[in-house]
Amino acid sequence: MKPSQLSLDLKTCFEDPGAEKSGEYLYDHVATVARHALATGQREDLLNILQEWIARRSEPETMLAVDLVRELRLAELVRQLRELHAEIQAGKCFLPCYNEWTTRALAAIGEAPK
Instruction: Decide if 26 is inside a domain.
Output: yes
Q: What pLDDT score was predicted for residue 112?
A: 81
Instruction: Decide if 29 is inside a domain.
Output: yes
Total domains in the fold of the chain: 1
| 49-77 tens-digit pLDDT | 999 999 999 999 999 999 999 999 999 99
- Give me the torsion for CA of 57, 61, 67, 72, rounded to 10°: -120
Instruction: Decide if 76 is inside a domain.
Output: yes
pTM: 0.92
Instruction: Decide if 113 is inside a domain.
Output: no
Domain that holds residue 9: 5-108
Instruction: Decide if 114 is inside a domain.
Output: no
Which pLDDT band, with edges at 50, 70 and 90, does 1 fall under?
Answer: low
Instruction: Decide if 45 is inside a domain.
Output: yes
DSSP 8-class letter at 3 = P
Q: Say whether pLDDT at 21 is over 80.
A: no
Determine contact, residues 60/78, Cβ cutoff 8 Å.
no
